[in-house]
Amino acid sequence: MTTAIIGTGGIGSAIARQLASGGETVRLSSADTKSARALAAAIGRAAVVAVDNGDALRGADAVVLALRFTVLKSVIDEIAESAVGKVVVVPSNPVSADSQGNVSRLLPEGQSSGEVVAGWLPPGTRLAMAFGSMSANLLESASNRSPDPAVLFYATGDDRAGEEVARLIRAAGFEPVKIGGVEQSSRLEVGGDLHDLVLSRAGAQSLIGGA
Ligand X SMILES: NC(=O)c1ccc[n+]([C@@H]2O[C@H](COP(=O)([O-])OP(=O)(O)OC[C@H]3O[C@@H](n4cnc5c(N)ncnc54)[C@H](OP(=O)(O)O)[C@@H]3O)[C@@H](O)[C@H]2O)c1
> 8 or 184: whose CB is closer to ligand X?
8
Of 16, 40, 64, 67, the one binding ligand X by CB under 6 A: 67
Q: Give the DSSP letter string of 76-124.
A: HHHHHHHHTTSEEEE---SEEE-TT--EEESS-TT--HHHHHHHHSPTT
| Helix (H) or strand (E) run with residue 164 in it | helix 159-171
Q: Which amino acid is at 133?
A: S
Please report how close the Cβ of residue 113 comes to ligand X at its closest, in angstroms. Answer: 9
Q: Report the residue number whose CB is nearest to ligand X.
A: 9
User: Which residues fall within 8 angstroms of residue 130, CB to CB, at 6 or more apart?
Assistant: 89, 90, 91, 152, 153, 154, 155, 156, 165, 168, 169, 188
Q: Is 192 in the site for ligand X (CB under 6 A)?
A: no
135 contacts 196 by C-beta, under 8 angstroms: yes
Q: Which of 3, 18, 29, 125 binds ligand X (CB under 6 A)?
A: 29
C-alpha span between 2 and 121 (Å, rounded): 21
Using CB under 6 A, pick the residue from 40, 43, 66, 117 that binds ligand X.
Answer: 66
Nearest to 69 by CA among 34, 29, 104, 19: 104
* Residue 6 interacts with ligand X (CB under 6 A): yes or no: yes
Q: Does 113 bind ligand X (CB under 6 A)?
A: no
Shortest approach of ligand X to residue 130 CB, angstroms?
10
Candidates 135, 144, 200, 205; binder of ligand X (CB under 6 A) is 135
Instruction: Note whether 69 binds ligand X by CB under 6 A.
Output: yes
3-class state of residue 143 by DSSP = coil
Query: Closest separation between CB of residue 52 and ligand X, Å?
Result: 8
Q: How far is CA 199 from the centre of its chain?
A: 19
Q: ω before 147 within 30° of 0 (cis)?
A: yes
The number of residues that bind ligand X (CB under 6 A) is 27
The least distance separating ligand X from the CB of residue 147, rounded to whole angstroms, comes to 26
Q: Which is nearer to ligand X, 8 or 18 (CB)?
A: 8
Q: How far is the CB of 22 from ligand X (least distance, A)?
A: 18
Which listed residue (4, 5, 7, 172) binds ligand X by CB under 6 A? 7
Residues that bind ligand X (CB under 6 A): 6-12, 29-32, 34-35, 53, 66-69, 71, 75, 91-93, 95, 132, 135-136
